[in-house]
Amino acid sequence: MALCKDFIKKHIFFSNDLSDDPVKAQKRKDLYTDMIAQIISESLFFFQDDYYNADISTIEREMTHISYCIETFPVVNAMVDNQNNYIILNLFTMTAANNMTVITELLDLLSRPEKATTSQIMLFALKWLNFYENEDMISTYIREYGAKKQILPVVENGKMYAVCKGYNLSPPQKYSEYMYDIFKLIFLHELGHWQYARFKEAWKMAYKKQAYNALKKQYANKSVPVNQKQLESWMQEIIADYIAVLVYTKTSRQYDDSKQCTKHCYIAIGLFYGLIAMEELAYERYKKGTEKHPPVYIRQNAVRELYAGFFSDILKIPYDVFMENEIQEWYVIESYFSQIIEEYWRKHYG
Ligand SMILES: [Zn+2]
């Protein structure tokens, strides 16, 4: 089932007018509706029929009736409301995602066609790690996107809006195109929750088992330090990420013999985890996790291992080779952000 963009557009709603000036509001809405409808139309998918707890035609009908609520309040977030069949996306996430693409030197290096080893790339990356630009980038993120950001009330024609400069998606960076990919991964994560909620019990169990083992491995065989309710929630986050990454890379296959999926898609996945790692830091929850979400380093390691395990199995590539050749970009970006964030945290909060 392919839903066309125009059909999806009719299901996109904004929580607020984007301006009190009706012409300006309409212009902004058209722009964002088009962008988001494009992302959604490229992302909707089904598992095989036998995954679902209902007839496939029921699942199809539900999917065609999803409403997409675009929140304009400046937070980086998204969620599924299964009761009302809503997927809620935050426009502000796009600006925050755009901000993640400022690591141009590293992205230049990773985008080159010639192959460098991970250790060669990390050597370069290490040189940049201590640059004040990195500290600056993180400070900027915390100031403009974090919990303590200033939300500027803007008054237009006597009506007040909580706006951030982000609504114009500026300033564009060299690699701003990744902003769409990061947003798409966030959408796919939510769609992953939506799908999982409709799985048969047997499939839920199969996914949970994998997620549990991946989590447990991160705690080196100590028990996962949460209660049952939290564990349930953490497993669901791992599963939603895993589904998102599998679906996203599936649409980014390449058919030369160097690797299975494009550099582009693994760069985007690295930046997606970079973004949620920045969020964790900016909300002063570094390495802590929440009631709902595992700490980001646990989350990304668990998902990467699940993904690598799945593919190295199918492709009969040893795990280490897979990490080095297939998903190098993801791993390098993830390590890069982990290190600069660790350094920042040690300096400012440690
Ligand atoms: Zn989630």
H or E element at residue 90: strand 86-90
Distance 277 CA to ligand 1 centre (A): 14
CA 188 to ligand 1 centroid distance, Å? 10
Over the stretch 13-66, which tens digit does the pLDDT of each residue have? 998 887 778 898 898 899 899 999 999 999 999 999 999 999 999 999 999 999
Find tokens 């693994």 and name the residue.
266
pLDDT at 315: 79
Question: For residues 293 and 311, what is the distance between their CA atoms, to the nearest angstrom?
Answer: 25
Encoded amino acid at 161, one letter: Y
> 47 C-alpha to center of ligand 1: Å?
19
**In DSSP terms, which residues pair with 79 in a beta bridge?**
88
Q: Which of 78-82, 147-151, 213-217, 327-331 has the lowest mean pLDDT?
A: 147-151
Q: Can you give the C-alpha Rg of the chain in angstroms?
A: 20
Residue 158 has pLDDT above 80, yes or no: no
pLDDT at residue 166 is higher than 80: no
Q: Is 337 within 8 Å of 131 (Cβ atoms)?
A: no
CA of 86 to the centre of ligand 1 (A): 14
> Across the beta sheet with 12-14, what order do the strands follow?
12-14, 67-71, 86-90, 78-81
Mean pLDDT of 99-111: 88
Provide the token pair at 235.
């497993």
Nearest to 95 by CA among 41, 145, 140, 42: 145
Task: State mean pLDDT over 146-170.
Answer: 58
Distance in Å from the first CA to the final CA of the chain: 51
What span, in angstroms and rounded, lies between the C-alpha atoms of 225 and 231? 9
**C-alpha 185 – ligand 1 centre gap (Å):** 11
Tell which wins on pLDDT, 341 or 95. Answer: 341
Span from the CA of 292 to the centroid of ligand 1 (angstroms) = 8
Using the mean position of ligand 1's atoms as its centre, give its distance from the Cα of residue 191 in Å: 9
Q: What is the Å distance from ligand 1's center to 192 Cα? A: 8
3-state helix, strand, coil in the chain (%, to 5): 60, 10, 30
- Over residues 235-275, the pLDDT tens digits come to 999 999 999 999 999 888 876 666 788 899 999 999 999 99
| CA 78–ligand 1 middle distance (angstroms) | 8
Distance between CA atoms of 238 and 298, rounded to whole angstroms?
A: 10
Strand 78-81 and strand 12-14: the pairing is unpaired
Q: What is the CA(248)–ligand 1 centre distance, in A?
A: 16
Is-cis flag, bond preceding 171, omega within 30? yes
Q: pLDDT above 70 covers what percent of the chain?
A: 91
Query: pLDDT band for position 167 (50/70/90)?
Result: very low
The rounded Å distance from CA 289 to ligand 1 centre is 13
CA of 21 to the centre of ligand 1 (A): 35
pLDDT of residue 342 exceeding 50 = yes
Q: How far is CA 179 from the centre of its chain?
A: 10
pLDDT at residue 70 above 60? Answer: yes
pLDDT at 155 over 70: no
**pLDDT tens, 110-146?**
998 887 888 888 888 888 776 677 888 888 888 888 8
Q: How far is the CA of 194 from the centre of ligand 1 (A)?
A: 10
237 CA distance to ligand 1 middle (Å): 5
Ligand 1 center to residue 209 CA distance, Å?
18
Higher pLDDT, 279 or 166: 279
